Amino acid sequence: MTPLTQSRYNFVERLSNNSLALYNTRTGSLIHVEPNEVKKVLSLLSDPVPEDPMVVTLEKEGFLVPYDCDELEIVKQWYYEWRDDRYLIHLTMLPAEACNFGCPYCFQFNRRNLLMKPSVYDGVFKYLENLVKENKRTDDNRSTMIKISWFGGEPTLAFDNIVAFHKKLKSLEDYGAKIRGIMVTNGYLLTVDKFLKLTSVGIKEFQVTLDGDAENHDKLRRLKNGKPTFQTIYDNLLQISQLQQDVEFRFSIRGNFLRTSIDSMHRLLEMFHSDFGDDPRFEIYFRPVYNFETTRDDIDEVSSEICGYQEGLQLQLALALKTMRMQRINSTVRMFDPLPRPTPSWCPAERNYAFIVGADGLLFLCDTWVGDEGLAHGRVSEDGRILLNEDGKKWRVSFFEENRKRCYECKLLPVCMGGCKRERLSRLGRPACYWSEEDIRSAMHRVIELNTLNDKAEPSQKSVDIR
């Protein structure tokens, strides 16, 4: 039997009540060890006894691995399989690089006020059709998964074209394609009737942003004429929630916060819990406003209120933990990441079959550069060819070919994978770290504390009883 040793991706943390928390970034497993078992578990981690039942659990959850196991190679293999998988296609479509809102922190690099041309829809369909048919010929038993994310601008401004495109996509199901539709919308035009039309053609995942309650939201996410939007959006959501449970969809509500709007986020969370807390189709999460470079200076309106990196992360965690606590009252699970989960890449920009398609057919590999022809990475032709320029080819260089020794040796690699590609390329070799070991340890403490407070609720992080 091959001897076992500790995983290089373990976090072992003593808690205030003398218990122990174990977290593994490669598997995402979290274990809470009671005080009377701590000494034994620490001993088994240092000197595993193969026949001990606890060792079996520790190995199963990834805390112990065979002595000759190359965990970095496992992570690499996961990355490359995901990066090069031609049976998984992810396109972010910008049917309208125009918007009815005038948000000061909008990160679209350049607003071009374009609607997607018919020739672009045709070119994208041809690209998908060619790939799906080729995949079918290569492996008749494997389905091609097509994920279409509708983004903007504001996608509902091109509502009819989106519905027509999805109806056309249905023909690819004859070749084994499975199509997943997602829409990120401001929600202002998303009436129940439009919502039902979208779900009927296969768009069943939605995200709407609410910047807190009406008082704060309407200061930031207003119409271009300055009129408020909160009540219209919220009424749309309430009406959608009244649909029968057999109408399948998932709805994420994202709260964007500034350091001055935290109280408003708490009020929004109370509203959400009251109005949607019993409906598993709805979820809520919170993120700080980011200051991305654009061609405008609109963000100056709120720039002094934008959180610093660590400040934003801590406020995000605090809101997430409150969300977790409230949701557990009803034993529901929402979009919430108290601890990061293993991921093959920070974002889809690393994949060979993932693109952002602009309204005129320009291709972007980062949504923060949308709208600037000089920052485009190529274009899609009318006959369905993907034509990358030199910058696009640079973006397709593998993370593991970037010679980032510090990243490859880091315990956080499986939950970070080098971080944001744009940041990595702009930092000239310096890492683009988001999480720190201190962040992980702090989150471990808080998650275990909440699990202990309500151990009957379903945890949002995979956790294991060591006994």
Q: What is the pLDDT of residue 452?
A: 67
pLDDT, averaged across the chain: 90
Q: What is the pLDDT of residue 459?
A: 39
Q: What is the pLDDT of residue 337?
A: 57
Q: What is the pLDDT of residue 464?
A: 44
The full length of the chain comes to 467
Q: What is the pLDDT of residue 465?
A: 42
Q: What is the pLDDT of residue 145?
A: 98
Q: What is the pLDDT of residue 460?
A: 40
Intervals of the chain under pLDDT 50: 329-336, 456-467
Q: Which of 26, 132, 122 is nearest to 69 (CA)?
A: 26
Q: What is the pLDDT of residue 396?
A: 87
Q: Which amino acid is at 407?
A: C
Kindly list the domain boundaries of the chain, sorted by start residue.
4-69+437-457, 77-348
Give the dihedral of Cα atoms 316, 318, 321, 327; nearest 10 deg: -80
Q: What is the pLDDT of residue 367?
A: 83
| Cβ-contact 66, 48 below 8 angstroms | no
Q: What is the pLDDT of residue 298?
A: 74
Q: What is the pLDDT of residue 303?
A: 87
- The two tokens of residue 293 are 């470079």
Q: Which of 311, 313, 337, 312 is nearest to 324 (CA)?
A: 337
> Which fold does the domain 77-348 belong to in CATH?
TIM Barrel (3.20.20)
